[in-house]
Structure 1
Amino acid sequence: MIVAGVTVSAGTVMPAAADTDLPEYLTKMRAPEMWKVADGTGITVAVIDSGVKDLPGLKGRVLPGVSFMEPPVDHPDETYPPHDDFEGHGTSMTAAIVGDGSAGGPQGLAPGAKVMPIRTSIGSPMAFGAIGESAKGVRYAADNGAKIINLSIGGWWSLDKISSAVEYAQSKGVLVFVAMGNEGDGNKSANPIAALPGVLGVGAVDITGEPLPSSSHGQATDLAAFGGKAPIRCKKNTAWCMQDGGTSYATSLASASAALVWSAHPDWTANQVARVLIQTAGAPVDGSKRNDWVGYGIARPSRALLNREGDPGAPDTDPLASPAPVKTPTPSADPAAAVPRRVESAAADSGLSWQWPALGAFVAVVLGLGITVIVKRRRR
């Protein structure tokens, strides 16, 4: 079932800041130290979203890309280039991955990587078709050199199409990250795409490592990253504002973390990169191997790059696979599961996720607001 949560946050327009200033979450992740080892060079991340606006902070870091955005029925000849974004969500995700920190935008976690923008109808009155368009985008990304696919969007529509597309991408060696959602009420609102086999579902935490109450969670949560206050496009994509990034932003940071590790180990497979990210994650502080809020923990690529932790293991074995029966997305019977549990240390890597784009034409038109739709998935 799709849960469309209307997330209204005007945000605060950011004052000009020195281009050298790093956000706290990147400092905690030891980003400057990691960049001396790997910065994402050689890795292409496909951001399947609302497109990307050409901004100074993204110059030279964004590939041509493609748009699968369907035109409205009354304007069948309308075209939507991938390097345009009237919603701002895709631009925010792109900057979180590869931004250079200039012009008020965020410094990306993997500044040496390249983003392949794939535009869908997110944020438009035709947003109900975004998941079907995303399925086309997943296949395109897999066929055109993407090593990582970032889906900071979700929904149930055309789930069968995106499921087969994800399976195709995985057969081509692509690693897929999907945001859990921003409804905060567990499995019933978790992104169903995140529950697909082999997909890494990403939850969101704040700067202290505490799970965001708004972060959808459940059996499909595999990793978490920072999703608190961060530079997000606002005012109809004309400025940067400080807003909660949510699981969307967190997913971008998780994708960027994978780009860093893969850049340092270009001979590894998607399974090996995922395995090391899981092994080196800041695990839940309650001592459990995983929980429904942060999965196996907060992504900490510095452990792999600087401490040389993690065993890549078998190249063809899904690290999330297990002989246990598939778990269906149902509310947890554990009363404690409804309460966010603190994860390991404030120094844990973080990732920030924003509002999910509107998926319902009716709501988008009637409310005129960005709608965050998130669904969840569980891994074996």
Structure 2
Amino acid sequence: MPAAADTDPPDYLTLMKAQEMWKVADGSGITVAVVDSGFKEVPGVRSESVLPGVSVMSPPIKEPDKKYPPHDDVDGHGTTMTAAIVGDGSGGAPKGLAPGAKVMPVRTSLGTPMAFAAGAEGAQGIRYAADNGAKIINLSWGDYYAFEKLKPAVQYAQSKGALVFAAMGNEGAGNNATNLITRVPGVIGVGAIDETAEPLDLSSHGPNTDLAAYGSKARIRCKENSGWCVADGGTSYATALASASAALVWSAHPDWTANQVARVLIETAGGPVDGAKRNDWVGYGAARPSWVLLKKAGNPGAPDVDPLAPAPTNAPAPSQTAAAAPAEAAEAEAEAEAEAGLPWQWLALGAVVAAGLGLAGTLIVKRRRR
């Protein structure tokens, strides 16, 4: 990675009209839970922007009483996501898109030798965030093996009124493995684009991509979280910017529900360049909160209707026999993928999290597209 002083990242905040938006709303009153590798107090992120948070890291078997502080991060991934949302731009850090918001760090074992436990820990952390005032939950990672725990945790958070964003993954240029969490109904799957709104080759993509955000050259923590460098932020960084976009909108409209915030972001997104309503790379397009705040665009619609849910039909309900077939097919497909091996199994082995994680598998269908 080049040093931050050597390469300046494109100013995506200018393109997003951040300065103008902050005159209307800056994220104040909104708490974003960053369930990740924790947060380390570093130049560029004011301490008052980060809540005490919690650590859900599992203690070593030989030290069952060991505690880990949430304000620590040996890897830097969680610190980078936090800065992308609330950073003050000093010391080589990025300026956060929603500088008035509060980040609740939820520290898991991501980036440590115990990373194989991060999925189950993340499920616990998601529930904690939902129970402690987080309006938005940022998941810039995923875990295939812990999905059975992650899915109900995400659904619990949604039942408490939280809006969940999840990275699509960074396997687009490889086998295009996507994050299972993006398949949960109501979760906003986020892809990555560059400053010209072109999808990044690395961005995983598919029918569960809902929005996109900048994920190209950005200031991230590097050198074991000892400094700021410039590198591709990937779908992790894009997810943090999507979460920050939601914080801006929700700050301006605190009476809206998660469904309404999601709906206006989808309605005002900068759609695919070919004029299609959506595609698998960018979903409905790049998040443009400025259209909501400055142009008053977007109809929040019904507060209790998921904007990503399939439209109701008058067709009769399928028989139990008919319903079983696709379920069995999905189960068989998931088993086949598991047997074939997954490209991101290194996560379960405890490797350090880079600037975005691409995770894989197909277990459930999130929604149907017309």
Residue 13 (structure 1) aligned with residue 3 (structure 2): yes
Any residues of structure 2 matched to 1:364-375 within 5 Å, and which?
364=351, 370=354, 372-375=357-360
Contact kept, 8 Å, 1:139 with 1:165, in 2: the verdict is yes
Is 2:9 aligned against 1:30?
no
Is 2:35 the partner of 1:45? no
Given that 2:75 and 2:353 are in contact with CA atoms closer than 8 Å, whether structure 1 keeps it comes out as no
Aligned position for 1:308: 296
1:1-380 aligned within 5 A: 11-15=1-5, 23-59=10-46, 60-184=48-172, 189-323=177-311, 359-361=347-349, 364=351, 370=354, 372-375=357-360, 378-380=366-368
User: Which gives a bigger RCO, structure 1 or 2 (Cα 8 Å, sep 6+)?
Assistant: 1
Output one character per residue of 1:155-207: Cα deviation in whole Å (capped at 9) or x when no partner: 21121111111111111110000000000058861000011011000000011
Q: Kindly provide the CA deviation profile for residues 272-328 of structure 1, in whole angstroms up to 9, marking residues without a partner as x.
A: 000000000000011211110000000000000001100000000000001489997
Larger displacement relative to structure 2 (22-31 or 138-147): 22-31
Change (3 A) 1:285 1:23: closer
| TM-score in terms of structure 2 length | 0.86
Query: For residues 39 and 311 of structure 2, what CA distance do their matches in structure 1 show?
Result: 41
- Counterpart of 2:339 in structure 1 is none
With over 3 angstroms needed to count, the CA separation of the structure-2 counterparts of 1:95 and 1:379, relative to structure 1, is: farther
Q: Is the 8 A contact 2:119 2:143 kept in 1?
A: yes
Amino acid at match of 1:98: V
Q: Distance in 2 between matches of 1:94 and 1:197?
A: 25
Q: Report if aligned partners of 2:199, 2:281 keep a CA contact under 8 Å in 1.
A: yes
**Contact 2:51–2:102 (CA<8 Å) still a contact in 1?**
yes
Q: 1:210 to 1:126 in 2, by over 3 A?
A: same
Aligned length: 339
* TM-score, length-scaled by structure 1: 0.84
Report the residue type matching 2:194 in the other structure. D
Deviation at 1:208, TM superposition (A): 0.9
- Rounded to whole Å, the distance in 2 between the matches of 1:41 and 1:357 is 39
CA RMSD, aligned part only? Answer: 2.6
- Could you report, residue by residue, the CA deviation over 1:18-47 in whole angstroms, capped at 9, with x for unpaired residues? xxx995100000000000000000000000
CA distance in structure 2 between the aligned counterparts of 1:320 and 1:283, rounded to whole angstroms: 16
Q: Which amino acid aligns with 1:91?
A: T
Q: Percent identity?
A: 65
The equivalent residue for 2:318 is none
1:80-120 C-alpha deviation (Å, 9 max, x unpaired): 11100001000000000000101110000000000000000
Counterpart for residue 347 of structure 1: none
Q: Structure 1 residues 375, 150: closer, same or farther in 2, change over 3 A?
A: farther
The CA deviation string for residues 249-277 of structure 1, in whole angstroms up to 9 with x for no partner, is 00000000000000000000000000000
CA contact (8 A) 2:35 2:122 kept: yes
Q: What amino acid is aligned across from residue 294 of structure 2 in structure 1? A: L
SS at match of 2:308: coil
Distance in 2 between the 1:358 and 1:298 partners?
Answer: 30
Helix, strand or coil for the counterpart of 2:153?
helix
Task: After TM superposition, give the deviation of residue 369 of structure 1 in Å.
Answer: 7.5
Q: Which ranges in structure 2 are unaligned for 5 or more consecutive residues?
A: 313-322, 334-343
- Which moved further from structure 2: 156-165 or 304-313? 156-165
